């Protein structure tokens, strides 16, 4: 009887957790619709979701939180969002979607190495954290979001799944307790199990989908399969993230995907994922705000911008300074957001570093809003100038035609 009561209680808690998630998605949809109706900033939309989540997390009724999430539920939800995002990003790793060049690949790895060597060390000393955590921070902020700058698409689609995999794999390796040789052997086995499960699952799934057209239902089934693959691999003591990445890459390069010309999942899945990631940050991240933290995070952000600008200047010498700045100031987004979620939920790194990463994301989005506004104003000025030129040019021709026409009629 006690077991039955406990089960009923847990089911009731789970029900309310799902209701909370549904309400948050509904709030996110309202914000999205308002942004589209007002033709607002895409970067501003992400920033509003983030700040709105932080506000909702503080709301209370009779000294009780309005959204009382269970910590165990939040941990599993954060991992679920990471798995789904990594799978979606891995599907983009195909030759039809990515056109890599020596410049884009070289620039990514140079920025990554420079961030690890410089920002990893600087953040370690400034924040008083472990060097490994500084390295993970440097890897995560090397992510490339291209929703504002299309030129970064190829680089971003190539780099983002690798960044998520590298960052969390380093955490796993660092957490191992044992001799160096034993740790290396365990880690290799950990990766190989992930590879095997990912390939095996891919073969089974795509043979069953071989003669089918990919529909939204199939997409949801693929996402569910990615989650099952992750859970199965983790139960076998393998890398669940690597198995999901292999499965996604397998699907992205499969005959099934090519016959449907599908490069990424439906907007419904992606937008829902985006809403939950940005809103839930406020419920998970432990945010410390003081003058020292603001100053340190801002210094780290400026150093990051200087490093990125110098490397971009090195690889894109023919670009104008304005275009180089645009490539440098491309804002962060879901990659950094989901990293904050998982690292915060599991308390893997120091709370001070979580605060810096969150402030880094806010700085990046604020700067992105400003850049997007400048670009929109520039486009409006160009459109206005073009319309003026069209009016002057064709208006004169029309007037000249009318004058000649009436002159001929009078002569006639």
DSSP code, position 352: H
What local confidence, expressed as pLDDT, does residue 402 receive?
42
* Dihedral pair phi/psi, residue 62, rounded to 5°: 55, 45
* Dihedral pair phi/psi, residue 64, rounded to 5°: -120, 140
DSSP code, position 17: H
- Tens-digit pLDDT profile for residues 75-84: 899 999 999 9
The average pLDDT across 190-203 equals 91
* Dihedral pair phi/psi, residue 141, rounded to 5°: -75, 0
Average pLDDT over the chain reads 82
141 near 118, Cβ under 8 Å? no
What local confidence, expressed as pLDDT, does residue 399 receive?
47
The average pLDDT across 149-172 equals 86
CA-based torsion, 61, 29, 347, 110: positive or negative:
negative
pLDDT range class, residue 407, cuts 50, 70, 90: very low
In the three-class reduction of DSSP (H, G, I as helix; E, B as strand; rest coil), residue 391 is classed as helix
**Helices (runs of H) and strands (runs of E) counted in the chain:** 16, 2
Cα–Cα separations (whole angstroms), residue 169 to 5, 111, 295, 338, 360: 40, 20, 30, 15, 22
What local confidence, expressed as pLDDT, does residue 401 receive?
41
pLDDT range class, residue 394, cuts 50, 70, 90: low
Q: What residue ranges do the domains of the chain occupy?
A: 70-361
| pLDDT higher than threshold 80 for residue 411 | no
Cα distance between residue 85 and residue 88, in whole Å: 5
Considering the entire predicted model, what is its pTM?
0.87
| pLDDT higher than threshold 60 for residue 405 | no
Q: Which residues, 6 or more positions from 270, have their beta carbon under 8 angstroms from its beta carbon?
A: 88, 264
Q: Give percent above pLDDT 70 in the chain.
A: 86
- Tens-digit pLDDT profile for residues 202-224: 888 777 776 666 666 777 888 88
The average pLDDT across 354-371 equals 91
161 near 245, Cβ under 8 Å? yes
What local confidence, expressed as pLDDT, does residue 179 receive?
80
Cα distance between residue 388 and residue 93, in whole Å: 44
More confident: 321 or 253: 321
Cα distance between residue 95 and residue 107, in whole Å: 19
- Tens-digit pLDDT profile for residues 250-267: 887 765 555 555 556 667
Query: What does the CA dihedral 200, 206, 209, 211 come to, rounded to 10 degrees?
Result: -130
- Locate the DSSP E strands across 49-110: 60-61, 64-65
What local confidence, expressed as pLDDT, does residue 298 receive?
93
- Tens-digit pLDDT profile for residues 279-291: 999 888 877 788 8
Of the candidates 76, 73, 78, 90, the one whose C-alpha atom is nearest the C-alpha of residue 222 is 90
């Amino acid at each position: 009887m006690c077991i039955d009561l406990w089960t009923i209680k847990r089911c009731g808690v789970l029900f309310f957790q799902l209701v909370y998630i549904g309400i948050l998605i509904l709030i996110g949809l309202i914000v999205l619709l308002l942004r589209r109706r007002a033709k607002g900033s895409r970067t501003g939309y992400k920033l509003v979701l983030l700040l709105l989540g932080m506000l909702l997390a503080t709301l209370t009724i009779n000294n009780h939180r309005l959204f009382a999430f269970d910590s165990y539920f939040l941990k599993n939800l954060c991992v679920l969002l990471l798995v789904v995002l990594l799978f979606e990003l891995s599907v983009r790793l195909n030759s039809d979607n990515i056109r890599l060049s020596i410049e884009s690949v070289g620039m990514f790895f140079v920025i990554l190495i420079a961030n690890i060597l410089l920002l990893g060390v600087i953040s370690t000393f400034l924040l008083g954290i472990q060097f490994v955590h500084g390295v993970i921070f440097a890897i995560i902020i090397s992510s490339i979001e291209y929703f504002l700058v299309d030129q970064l698409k190829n680089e971003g689609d190539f780099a983002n799944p690798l960044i998520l995999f590298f960052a969390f794999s380093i955490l796993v390796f660092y957490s191992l307790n044992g001799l160096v040789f034993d740790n290396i052997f365990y880690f290799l086995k950990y990766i190989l199990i992930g590879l095997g499960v990912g390939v095996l699952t891919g073969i089974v799934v795509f043979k069953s989908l071989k003669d089918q057209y990919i529909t939204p239902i199939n997409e949801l089934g693929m996402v569910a399969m990615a989650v099952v693959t992750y859970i199965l691999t983790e139960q076998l003591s393998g890398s669940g993230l690597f198995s999901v990445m292999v499965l996604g890459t397998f699907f992205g390069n499969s005959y099934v995907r090519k016959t449907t010309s599908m490069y990424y999942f439906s907007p419904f899945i992606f937008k829902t994922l985006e809403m939950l990631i940005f809103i839930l940050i406020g419920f998970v991240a432990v945010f410390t705000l003081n003058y020292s933290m603001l100053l340190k995070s801002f210094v780290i952000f400026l150093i990051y911008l200087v490093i990125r600008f110098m490397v971009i200047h090195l690889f894109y010498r023919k670009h104008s300074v304005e275009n180089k700045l645009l490539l440098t100031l491309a804002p962060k987004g879901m990659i950094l957001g989901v990293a904050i979620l998982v690292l915060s939920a599991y308390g893997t790194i120091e709370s001070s570093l979580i605060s810096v990463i969150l402030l880094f994301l806010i700085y990046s989005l604020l700067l992105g809003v400003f850049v997007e506004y400048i670009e929109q104003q520039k486009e409006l000025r160009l459109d206005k100038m073009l319309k003026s030129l069209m009016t002057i040019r064709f208006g004169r021709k029309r007037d000249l035609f009318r004058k000649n026409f009436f002159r001929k009629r009078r002569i006639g």
